[in-house]
Amino acid sequence: MKKIIAAFDGLRFSETTLQYAIWLAQQQPTQITGVFLTESNRLSYELYETIVEQSIPGKEVVEQIEKTDAAVTAESIHLFEKACRESKIHYTIHQDHKNALKELLQESAFADFLIIQSEETFSYLEANLPGSFVRHLLQRSECPVVILPKKFTPIHKFIFLYDGHPSSVFAMKMATYTLPKLPNTEVEILFAKESKEDLHLPHNKQIREWTKTHFPDAVVKVLKGGEEGLIHILSKEGPGAMIISGSYNRTAASMLFHSSLADRLMNVIDAPLFIAHA
């Protein structure tokens, strides 16, 4: 049995995350842990705190807001529980408060993988993808993370991004060990090279042996055009694919100046993105 964390903003329930969680759990024995997070340092909350300090009526406003927020979160949890019960899926619920990122990272240490929608920001200000919450989650998570698109589509194809480095092989192995073995699923291994380079596949013998062991019918493709060519190819994929990448391995400092491949893919593909790093 696998343990999947489905991460939710308690105040902004993601139907897409719920649909993927249920679908994944239906493919193999799974326990879903619904983690419902709230972030106490949202801008609106800080404004409410200011109201409290300035007036007695302000306290009543905050109490009402907190009551409303609790009701919204309770309804989100109810929707999650109802869907799991109807689908006869094992589930647990964790409701975490105060520091959403810190608590989700702690949860990640005890899960096989984690799913979260790409637009989760736990902020009223961020608009660009990925937001700082997802960026930091990807850098520091202690289990693989699946970033979900806006809409749910059943998965019928796995696309492994191989770049010859250990991080990409690690991601491939983690996906193989944790994701369900779906019948009639297409599998592709993509390696992108700059146009001027030869088309030799790094560690060709080993990667083909590994691929044949796990996915005998997989297609291995060497693409020209480097990262740009790879993104162009992936942008044409339908929403039923899942992209597996180990490329989210930049340091926190370099992330300030460069977008990783994973960052760019989140903005051009309409498919789940499985990311794992050693």
Q: Where are the domains of the chain?
A: 2-148, 157-275
Average pLDDT, the chain: 84
DSSP letters for 124-135: SS--SSS-HHHH
The listed range with the strongest mean pLDDT (53-57, 60-64, 259-263) is: 259-263
CATH class of domain segment(s) 2-148: alpha beta
The listed range with the strongest mean pLDDT (12-26, 49-63, 89-103, 254-268) is: 12-26
**Listed residue (11, 1, 10) closest to 32, CA to CA:** 1
CB 272 within 8 A of CB 243: yes
Residue 248's pLDDT band, with cuts at 50, 70 and 90, is low
Q: Which residues contact 128 (CB under 8 A, 6 or more apart)?
A: none
Check if 2-148 and 157-275 are the same fold: yes
Residue 63's pLDDT band, with cuts at 50, 70 and 90, is low
Q: What is the pLDDT of residue 129?
A: 61
DSSP letters for 134-190: HHHHHHH-SS-EEEE-SS-----EEEEE--SSHHHHHHHHHHHHHS---TT-EEEEE
Choices 3.20.20.140, 3.40.50.620, 3.40.50.360, 2.40.50.100: CATH for 157-275:
3.40.50.620
pLDDT tens across 121-163, in order? 776 555 566 678 888 898 899 999 999 999 999 999 999 999 8
Q: What is the pLDDT of residue 251?
A: 45
pLDDT tens across 66-86, in order? 777 788 889 999 999 999 999
Q: What is the pTM of this model?
A: 0.87
Dist CA 208 CA 105 (whole Å): 34
Residue 57's pLDDT band, with cuts at 50, 70 and 90, is low
